[in-house]
Structure 1
Amino acid sequence: MNRAVASGGRLPLLKAAWVVARRDFSAILFSRAFFFFLLGPLFPVVVMVMAGGVGAQVQSSAATADIGLAMQSEDVDRMLDAREELARQLGGVVPPMVEVASLAAGEDFDARATLETTEGSLAAIVTGTPEAPVLTATESRVARWSGLVATIGAYASDPGARAYPPVATQVVGTSGAVENSGRLRTAQGGQVLLFMLIMLLASMVLSNLVEEKGNKIIEILAAAIPMDAVFLGKLFAMLGISVVGIAVWGSTAAVLLTAGGQSLSDLANPGVGWPMFFVLFALYFAMGYLLLGSIFLAVGSLATTVREVQTLSMPATMFQIIVFFLASLAVTDRGGWLEWTAMVFPLSSPFAMVARAASDEALWPHALALGWQALCVAVFVRAGAGLFRRRVMKSGPQGARRRGVFRMLASAFRNGSSRPV
């Protein structure tokens, strides 16, 4: 016997949810609006990349600072040679030195006036002799460069008195402190990325049922399939759309990072390793999206106009931020009650577990967390569908008579009507 017939002419839950999800997914994916939806987040990324490049160039130009030398010619040569020798030992710690003036014996030089009137990268001037140098600069640079100028002057005065012993080196791949701090940054970065994606994509669910309520399609759906299937199908359809968007944005970001010379080797290896971290990140995104989306779908289903949906979007966004802060604080409380609270509370659990995947090698907590989150998704969908039936569909004798009007129209939906849900 056909299962739909046996259940009173209504499609089974999972099959009905698949029909709703497939129809919603196709209707959104092949619309013009979805193309502009994909382009939307790419414009800020391009602007940020361009602004970062310009900012780095400006900062590099601003960071260039030279120390000028105004001494007798032989003293200038000795100071420059000493600076080159120290630069080979100390690297970028030693700023460039340039000749400003070659003075005759007894000739005066106004270093203060020269610094105040000269444009360019000149930040300080050293006068006097290598044995008794005089540094003229701003207060911060005097404090920073006094010892360096003294060292260069001492080496220029008597090079034979300064010797650099050979240093044997041993190279390690990492250290405990570096690995711990790197994993902490990976955990925080994973949380921020997960939060931004969910906040950007889950808010679309708020307005998902407004159009169907306005044109009475929801009545046909309620007569044809269980309301739980409607909620579940729409959630998974929006999740599929989100996955397509993330794939496009992620590919673009990977191309930009690769072109900029960035790779995963520049970041600390997460506790579970990069391949498993990406798998867990995708799973926790799906769970976080379904958890928050089920709540948004239930709340948004009570709205009757787009204006009401816009009114609901602000408290929904603030709610996401509070949940994110709870999970962020849990990163600093490893093994404490705050971390356990964040892992157990369903809405913050995906964020807390992403951070745990970055900092801990164990995999069994993730299996428990994913099972718990899946159970909470089922409970939230069931509760949201029940709330919709009681508050909007008004289930009962009157609701049953109302739905009876649409029983004949429901067969069109079950037979695959081309009209998108």
Structure 2
Amino acid sequence: MRQGSGRLSVLAAAWVVARRDFTAILFSRSFFFFLLGPLFPAIIAVLAGSLGSRVDASQERPVLGVVMQAADAAALERARAQLAPALGEDLPRLVVLRRLAPGERYDARQALSSHKASAAAILTGTPAAPVLTGPEGLIQAWGGPVAMLSAQVHSGAALSYPAVALQPVVRSSAAERKGRFATAQGAQTLLFLLTMMLAGMVLSNLVEEKGNKIIEVLAAAVPMDAVFLGKLFAMLGVSLVGIATWAAAGGLLWLGGGISPERLPDPAVGWPLLIGLGVIYFAMAYLLLGSVFLAIGSMATTVREVQTLSMPVTMAQLMVFFFASFAMTQPGSAVEIAAVLVPFSSPFAMLARAARDPALLPHIMAIGWQVLWVALLVRGGARLFRSRVMKSGPGGRAKPRRIRLRGFGR
């Protein structure tokens, strides 16, 4: 529909501007080099992940819980202290979960399935007849060290290495929580990297068009609010195309490398829903940050000014990411609630929550809250954009010129 002056309405003009920017960027030679950009961060991420796994392996070793009578538990702790100087890291780390009274029974399987279990596996029975309950691969690896500990308890007797009874479970809650936390951390970091890397495109595009006077031509043909909306959503579309391309290339490398999906920790909501929520939260984070960047770009005339003005926003966004990462370690606390309510940290906090909590209602409410803030910030950014871009020297606003552009209506 057209306004009374013969110009396109804001939404119709925004669609034309978005289509123009989208096709111009998508079919440019620079877009190919843009797609190659994540190659270097990906290499750095692989190296950092390898280093992080080494640190995690050295500091976050699984814990073997001991549930026995007090005398047996103390004997096992003394046996480990005696063998530790010689065996060191080969011995599991013991934590006494409970000291049983004579005749008291304990269900290790049920304890591991509950979300309160802090150990990866549980050792019950007696040192002479130990019973090891936990994930199958883990208890098989710990069977030998447990037999050595039991034999050390009875080192003065003729008892040799006892047979360790293995009771495998599908997955302990401690291992499940650790896997979901790793998935949440990875999804949150990926969302932050993509948002920061792609949101900066709106700045360079705007400064370039301000320099060659294209903005003035667009301002004479369509409302400035439409220019703001069109550029913002065009860049979002270009970013989604880039992400889809990288995902397809990563999927081919994944299949070609023979990586099994079962090796990845499953999120609480499942992979299909987590990916869908990731796309939605990326769009929300991109629109929030992109509207701020566009408003900043409207106040800058050179690339140096853009860098100066955008640096505080970039640092603030980094602090927002750290805030959301810290909130992920405090589930259900006031810190997590604050991270969900703050609009700039809400997409990161909620994506991490999707990997740890299967509830879907909080996501519906959070997305509605984020859409509200996107509308407010886009509207505020468009007003600032219009007031700054339309200024021409100290005299105030530039006089509008009647210019007709092909593709912007007749």
TM-score, reference length from structure 1: 0.67
Asked if 1 retains the 8 angstrom alpha-carbon contact of 2:296 and 2:310, the reply is: no
* Change in CA separation of 1:165 and 1:259 when aligned onto 2, cut-off 3 Å: farther
Residues in 2 aligned to 1:348 and 1:53: alpha-carbon distance in whole angstroms: 27
In the alignment, the residues of structure 2 paired with residue 27 and residue 300 of structure 1 have an alpha-carbon distance, to the nearest angstrom, of: 20
1:257: Cα distance to partner? Answer: 3.6
Partner of 1:178: 175
Equivalence for 2:387: 390
Q: SS at 1:361's partner residue?
A: coil
1:77-110 Cα distance to aligned partner (Å, 9 max, x none): xxxxxxxxxxxxx9x959xxxxxxxxxxxxxxxx
Q: Give the match for residue 380 of structure 1.
A: 377
2:206 alignment counterpart: 209
Shift of residue 342, structure 1, vs aligned partner: 0.9
The percentage of aligned residue pairs carrying the same residue is 61
- Please give the alpha-carbon distance, in whole angstroms, between the structure 2 residues aligned to 1:222 and 1:213: 11
In structure 1, C-alpha distance between the alignment counterparts of 2:51 and 2:184, rounded to whole Å: 29
Q: Does the Cα contact within 8 Å between 1:208 and 1:297 map onto a contact in 2?
A: no
User: RMSD value over aligned CA atoms?
Assistant: 3.3
Q: Match of 1:86? A: none
Paired AA for residue 346 in structure 1: P
What is the letter of the counterpart of residue 350 of structure 1? P
Partners of 1:278 and 1:12 in 2: how far apart?
35
Matches within 5 A, 1:169-248: 169-248=166-245
Alignment of 1:8-407 (within 5 A): 8-46=5-43, 163-394=160-391, 402-403=399-400, 405=401, 407=402
Q: Which secondary structure state, in structure 2, belongs to the residue aligned with residue 382 of structure 1?
A: helix
Native 8 Å contact 2:229 2:382 kept in 1: no
Match of 2:168, SS state, is coil
Q: Is the 8 A contact 2:390 2:398 kept in 1?
A: no
* Paired amino acid for 2:348: F
Deviation at 1:381, TM superposition (A): 1.4
Match of 1:412 among 401, 406, 409: 406
Give how far 1:23 is off. Answer: 0.8
CA distance in 1, matches of 2:190, 2:52: 23
SS in 2 for 1:402: coil
C-alpha separation between the residues in 1 aligned to 2:183 and 2:30?
34
CA deviation after TM superposition for structure 1 residue 212, in Å: 2.2
CA distance in 1, matches of 2:382, 2:42: 38
Residue 394 of structure 1: CA displacement?
3.6
> For the residues of structure 1 that align with 2:361 and 2:44, how far apart are their CA atoms?
41
Contact 1:221 1:410 in 2 (8 A): no
Offset of 1:228 from its aligned partner? 1.9
Shift of 1:209: 1.6
Assess, with a 3 A threshold, how the Cα gap between structure 1 residues 253 and 309 changes in structure 2: closer, same or farther. Answer: same
Look at both structures and tell me which one has the larger radius of gyration over its CA atoms. 1
Cα gap change, 1:165/1:217 in structure 2, threshold over 3 Å: closer, same or farther? same
Equivalent pair of 1:228/1:381 in contact (CA under 8 Å): no
CA contact (8 A) 2:391 2:398 kept: no
- Given that 1:272 and 1:358 are in contact with CA atoms closer than 8 Å, whether structure 2 keeps it comes out as yes
The alignment covers a number of residue pairs equal to 315
CA deviation after TM superposition for structure 1 residue 274, in Å: 1.1
Q: Distance in 2 between matches of 1:400 and 1:169?
A: 80
> Partner letter of residue 249 of structure 1?
W
For structure 2, the 5+ residue unaligned runs are: 54-86, 92-144, 153-157
Residues 318-375 of structure 1, C-alpha deviations (whole Å, 9 max, x = no match)? 1210110111111122122111111111111100110111111111111111112112
**Residues in 2 aligned to 1:47 and 1:326: alpha-carbon distance in whole angstroms:** 23
* 1-structure distance, mates of 2:328, 2:46: 29
**Worse-superposed segment, 8-17 or 24-33:** 8-17
Q: Is the 8 A contact 1:187 1:356 kept in 2?
A: yes
Task: Evaluate the alpha carbon distance shift between residue 360 and residue 204 of structure 1 in structure 2; reply closer, same or farther with a 3 A threshold.
Answer: same
Residues 18, 233 of structure 1: 8 Å contact kept: yes
Cα distance, 1:166 vs. partner? 4.4
Whether contact under 8 Å (1:277, 1:357) holds in the other structure is yes
Equivalent-residue separation in structure 2 for 1:214 and 1:343 (angstroms)? 39
Q: Which amino acid aligns with 1:386?
A: R
> Equivalent residue for 1:136?
none
Distance 1:347 1:248, change over 3 A: same
